[in-house]
Structure 1
Amino acid sequence: MLKGLGGLGGLGDMAKMMKAAQDMQTKMAEMQAEMANTVVIGEAGAGLVKARATAKGEVTGLDIDPSILVPSEKEVVEDLILAAIKDAQSKGQMRMAEEMRRMTEALGLPADMKLPF
């Protein structure tokens, strides 16, 4: 008579692997939700323009110093806004990569392993 999955040889290992995969998927979903609520700030022009974004890269706000809002500097202001947004998104990507590295290390996987989620 078979005793649990242990009597099925490799199926017990397969069940452990499936459980580990489900745990990893759950942790990934939790981390993704956390990153959607984590705010990063990008800056340009020595802080004259600041962009708020989630760590997932969604821009949620801008803060523009009124001293640069002059019609003759329109293109400069536009460039600063774009630079601040790119900086915020870059910081978000770095934060996401940090969290992914922590997660893979906590699971005993190589830090640079790319997860399929």
Structure 2
Amino acid sequence: MKNLTDLMKQAQALQSKMGDMQAELEALEVQGTSGGGLVRVTMSGKGAVKKVAIAPELMKEDEREILEDLIVAAAADAKTKSERLAEEKMKSIAGGLPLPPGFSL
């Protein structure tokens, strides 16, 4: 029984470390650029788009903020749809078996 207790302690420690890592990833930010720096996208370490910046010379100045907001909204919408699609595919692969709470592939 001691081995089982040790195994459970190790699993709990691993779960705690995974939670810490997830929080750390959420707090991190990365920035991607294109067009020689004319377009910049800032994302969380978990892949959520946080900000889009477009150089003014690429567009009309009075429409820049609207376009930036629309790009962020579209990226968030696409991410939500792709996650939903992946979840549906996993359900079909798993034969409809429910996954435990918090468990995702």
Q: TM-score range by the shorter chain?
A: 0.5 to 0.7
State the partner residue of 1:52: 42
Gaps of 5+ in 1: 1-10, 71-76, 86-115
Q: Report the TM-score when normalising by structure 1.
A: 0.51
% same residue: 36
Matched residues in 2 for 1:12 and 1:31: separation?
29
Structure number with the bigger relative contact order (C-alpha 8 A, sep ≥ 6) is 1
Matched residues in 1 for 2:2 and 2:36: separation?
58
Matched residues in 2 for 1:36 and 1:54: separation?
6
The partner residue of 1:41 within 28, 31, 35 is 31
* 4+ aligned runs moved over 2 Å, structure 1: none
Matched residues in 2 for 1:43 and 1:65: separation?
11
The structure with the largest alpha-carbon Rg is 1
The answer to whether residue 56 in structure 2 is matched with residue 66 in structure 1 is yes
RMSD between aligned alpha carbons?
2.7
Gaps of 5+ in 2: 61-66, 76-102
